[in-house]
Amino acid sequence: MGLRSHIMEVLRSADVARETEGVIREGIRWFPRARPLKMLRIFRTRFDSLRNAEEELRRVKIVETYLAPAHVARSNEFLVDYLLQGKYEPLLCGLQEYVIGEVLDPWGCLDKDHLTSLFWRIDSGGIKDALPTIETWGQKIRKHADKILGRIKAMIVEANYVPDLAGIGNLLLTRTGNIKLVDINNISKVSFDPSIPRDDRGYPVCDKSIEALSLLEEKLLGKSINRRAPIYRTFLDPGRVNEVRSIEKEFHLSLGSSKAPLYSSSQQDGSPPACGSCLDPLSD
């Protein structure tokens, strides 16, 4: 269950039976996990009108235009009528591609050791051909990171939208070294004016997504970002970053200590958590 949508696995009944009852192999009972065919997302957002729901669909299509098919989990979106207290409301749903991979956290360590550990943890998903070896793992990640980050920056500049890159688990790293966006629920309009926009929950998701973009560029591509570039000049301005940090702290406090964090928090100085050699993550 996510902050902005109910998320359910769509499974084959036969696979569920195997998972619950087990299968005998060489005298041992195994319980193979049922792998989802699709992920069903039911958006929590309540739309005042069909037009508002269609606007959300338009944002999803913009993201797909820039990132599909390689770098976003494809989703078939549809609207249904939801009867609530005698009144019909539009409800946005999506059947999304299931992606096998490990979480790529922009706020955490992405050094060579960490990425190597992900290599051994990611299920191949039955793929046998064209999988990278551990020796070429870093090169593959660099190649795919360069593509997806470039496409996201183009989306920001040309379409003035950015997907939510800041949330925990929104990006997955696959066994082929590819990076896929799997959360398309909180797409932000990008404005370069001084005001700091917040989403419907009070989170400065636009600013934090662009900060996450800068961290991924530094860590995965192993290069210093150009802070004079139009995107970063606006959103990484020190004064603005401090203000965003205060808003972010407000947001986390509003969630309450009993709730697991849905967004990683920056350190007080705004830097990501320290680890090894984060700025030289994939050096061979």
- State how far the Cα of 195 lies from the Cα of 197, in Å rounded to an integer: 6
Our count of domains for the chain comes to 2
User: Element (H or E) spanning 231, and its range?
Assistant: helix 230-235
User: Element (H or E) spanning 246, and its range?
Assistant: helix 238-255
Q: What is the pLDDT of residue 263?
A: 64
Residues facing residue 172 across a β-bridge:
103, 180
Six token digits for residue 230: 């139009």
The number of beta carbons lying within 10 Å of the beta carbon of residue 3 is 16
End position of a domain, from candidates 75, 98, 121? 98
- State how far the Cα of 102 lies from the Cα of 124, in Å rounded to an integer: 11
Specify the residue for token string 């082929």. 176
| Domain co-membership, 15 together with 39 | yes
What is the extent of the structural domain holding 272? 100-284
Q: What is the pLDDT of residue 265?
A: 56
Q: If we measure between CA atoms, which residue out of 48, 78, 44 comes closest to residue 60?
A: 78
pLDDT tens digits, one per residue of 138-166: 999 999 999 999 999 999 999 999 999 99
pLDDT tens digits, one per residue of 9-64: 999 999 999 999 999 999 999 999 999 999 999 998 888 888 999 999 999 999 99
* 173 φ, ψ (degrees, to nearest 5): -105, 125
Q: What is the pLDDT of residue 4?
A: 77
pLDDT tens digits, one per residue of 64-81: 999 999 999 999 999 999
| Domain co-membership, 86 together with 130 | no
Alpha-carbon separation of residue 11 from 95, 114, 263 (angstroms): 12, 32, 28
| Domain co-membership, 12 together with 28 | yes
Q: What is the pLDDT of residue 85?
A: 87
Alpha-carbon separation of residue 22 from 17, 26, 228, 284 (angstroms): 7, 13, 58, 43
| Domain co-membership, 42 together with 161 | no
Residue 111 DSSP symbol: S
| Domain co-membership, 270 together with 208 | yes
| Domain co-membership, 160 together with 255 | yes
* 50 φ, ψ (degrees, to nearest 5): -60, -35
| Domain co-membership, 176 together with 81 | no
| Domain co-membership, 180 together with 262 | yes
CB 62 within 8 A of CB 43: no
Share of the chain above pLDDT 90, in %: 72
- State how far the Cα of 179 lies from the Cα of 124, in Å rounded to an integer: 14
| Domain co-membership, 91 together with 140 | no
- State how far the Cα of 186 lies from the Cα of 202, in Å rounded to an integer: 12
| Domain co-membership, 5 together with 145 | no
- Res. 3 pLDDT band, cuts 50 70 90: low
Q: What is the mean pLDDT of the chain?
A: 88
Alpha-carbon separation of residue 78 from 53, 56, 132, 163 (angstroms): 10, 11, 36, 19
| Domain co-membership, 210 together with 134 | yes
CB 60 within 8 A of CB 45: no
Alpha-carbon separation of residue 133 from 64, 112, 151 (angstroms): 30, 14, 26
Q: If we measure between CA atoms, which residue out of 6, 51, 46, 57 comes closest to residue 187?
A: 57
Q: What is the pLDDT of residue 147?
A: 98
CB 34 within 8 A of CB 16: yes
Share of the chain above pLDDT 70, in %: 87
- Does residue 32 have a cis peptide bond before it, meaning omega lies within 30 degrees of 0? no
| Domain co-membership, 6 together with 119 | no
Q: Quick one: CA dihedral 229, 226, 165, 175, positive or negative?
A: positive
Stated length of the chain: 284
